[in-house]
């Protein structure tokens, strides 16, 4: 995972360590670092911010002889990465679900994202995670457009023994979402997971459809699903949903196959919303809580 981004970080640390920190040498090293970040799918605004900050820190740095320069540079890089994640906070999903349950209210989560990003699989993984954490779930099959979407989500749900609420194709997704909530209230189900459609990111109708679901069911949490392999497309999709419906956090999928690693940084920096979980494989247990510290450590070590 993330070999490319890791490579960019370690090359910079090595390059700086081998030279005196003159401005010219530093600029050369940072230029190469910028290129490597771009190749790792780090968005341009993040590249500029990170390298600008680093330059200031490294230029003013006086390294004690006994200290390993490479280690000091790595520490600065680690700090840069952590500062991007620490600015956006976090959402403790389990605590929020517990609070809702204590009030006797179902906790409603709407999943947003473009087709093919792994949304349906992620809804199933999330249902599995909720069940394993001791909560009952119902899935609302809110993608009533894409052929096969209702069968797909139902098949996933059957495999993990989760209930699905669905209507026919062409039905109003907001009505399906509301049915899911009504079912949860009637049967004292703890969590409602609302799958949604994901036609073309530029489709105005899709954004209106998502806004309608939000108005009708007022989700407690809106989660954007981004494909870590989609590069800058994932960032522009995140920006679009952020603008039209807003979201509270993101799940990055297919991280197990991602050799670059820029998506987490870019989406967080651009939308100012935290990454909550990572999809790390195709089975239902392959959903990991995102840990910013572990992510930063893995890049510099």
Does the protein bind ligand GDP through residue 235 (CB under 6 A)? no
Q: How far is the CB of 60 from ligand GDP (least distance, A)?
A: 41
Q: How far is the CB of 226 from ligand GDP (least distance, A)?
A: 10
Residue in 29, 121, 144, 242 binding ligand GDP, rule: CB under 6 A: 121
Residue in 6, 108, 254, 273 binding ligand GDP, rule: CB under 6 A: 254
Residue in 45, 87, 282, 301 binding ligand GDP, rule: CB under 6 A: 282
Decide if 293 contacts 37 (C-beta within 8 A).
no
Buried b (16+ CB within 10 A) or exposed e, 41-73: bbbeebbeebbeebbebbeeeebeeeeebbebb
Candidate ranges 44-52, 71-79, 88-96, 248-256; the one touching ligand GDP (CB under 6 A): 248-256
Rounded to whole angstroms, the Cα distance separating 98 from 135 reads: 9
Query: Under rule CB under 6 A, how many of the chain's residues touch ligand GDP?
Result: 17
Q: How far is the CB of 93 from ligand GDP (least distance, A)?
A: 18
Q: How far is the CB of 163 from ligand GDP (least distance, A)?
A: 19
For residue 278, the surrounding DSSP H or E stretch is: strand 275-279
Between residues 220 and 227, which has the closer beta carbon with respect to ligand GDP?
A: 227
Does the protein bind ligand GDP through residue 233 (CB under 6 A)? no
Candidate ranges 32-40, 82-90, 111-119, 230-238; the one touching ligand GDP (CB under 6 A): 111-119
Does the protein bind ligand GDP through residue 115 (CB under 6 A)? yes
Structure tokens at 228: 């870590």
Does the protein bind ligand GDP through residue 119 (CB under 6 A)? yes
Smallest Cα–Cα separation from 273: which of 229, 230, 223, 231? 223
Does the protein bind ligand GDP through residue 116 (CB under 6 A)? yes
Among positions 179-198, residues that touch ligand GDP (CB under 6 A) are 198
The edge-to-edge listing of strands for the beta sheet with 287-289 is 163-165, 137-140, 191-194, 107-112, 221-227, 249-253, 275-279, 287-289
Q: Which residue is nearest to ligand GDP (CB)?
A: 279
User: What would the DSSP string read from start to end of 120-151?
Assistant: HHHHHHHHHHHHHTT--EEEE----SSTTHHH
Residue in 213, 240, 276, 280 binding ligand GDP, rule: CB under 6 A: 280
Does the protein bind ligand GDP through residue 234 (CB under 6 A)? no
Decide if 196 contacts 245 (C-beta within 8 A).
no
Structure tokens at 120: 């349906």
Cα dihedral 242/245/249/251 (nearest 10): -90
Smallest Cα–Cα separation from 174: which of 127, 213, 143? 213
Does the protein bind ligand GDP through residue 53 (CB under 6 A)? no
Between residues 50 and 264, which has the closer beta carbon with respect to ligand GDP?
A: 264
Decide if 142 contacts 176 (C-beta within 8 A).
yes
Does the protein bind ligand GDP through residue 148 (CB under 6 A)? no
Residue in 40, 196, 253, 266 binding ligand GDP, rule: CB under 6 A: 253
CA atoms within 13 A on the CB side of 243: 11
Residues forming the site for ligand GDP (CB under 6 A): 115-121, 198, 253-254, 256-257, 279-282, 286
């Amino acid at each position: 995972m993330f070999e490319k981004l890791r490579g960019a970080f370690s090359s910079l640390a090595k390059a700086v360590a081998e030279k005196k920190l003159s401005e010219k040498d530093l600029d050369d090293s940072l230029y190469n670092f910028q290129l490597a970040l771009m190749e790792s799918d780090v968005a341009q605004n993040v590249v500029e911010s990170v390298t600008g900050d680093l330059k200031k820190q490294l230029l003013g740095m006086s390294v004690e002889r006994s200290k390993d320069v490479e280690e000091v540079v790595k520490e600065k890089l680690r700090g840069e990465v952590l500062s991007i994640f620490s600015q956006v906070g976090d959402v403790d999903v389990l605590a929020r679900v517990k609070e809702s349950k204590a009030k006797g209210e179902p906790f409603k989560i709407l999943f947003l994202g473009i087709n093919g990003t792994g949304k349906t699989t992620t809804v199933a993984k999330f249902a599995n995670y909720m069940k394993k954490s001791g909560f009952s779930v119902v899935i609302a099959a809110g993608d009533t457009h894409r052929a096969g979407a209702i069968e797909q989500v139902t098949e996933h749900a059957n495999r993990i023994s989760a209930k699905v609420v669905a209507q026919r194709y062409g039905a109003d997704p907001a009505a399906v979402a509301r049915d899911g909530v009504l079912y949860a209230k009637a049967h004292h189900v703890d969590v409602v997971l609302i799958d949604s459609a994901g036609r073309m990111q530029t489709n105005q109708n899709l954004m209106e459809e998502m806004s309608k679901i939000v108005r009708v069911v007022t989700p407690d949490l809106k989660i954007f699903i981004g494909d870590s392999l989609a590069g800058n497309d994932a960032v522009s999709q995140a920006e679009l949903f952020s603008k039209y419906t807003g979201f509270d956090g993101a799940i990055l999928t297919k991280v197990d196959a991602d050799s670059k690693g820029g998506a987490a940084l870019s989406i967080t920096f651009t939308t100012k919303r935290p990454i909550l979980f990572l999809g790390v494989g195709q089975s239902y247990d392959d959903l990991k809580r995102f840990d910013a510290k572990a992510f930063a450590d893995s890049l510099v070590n």
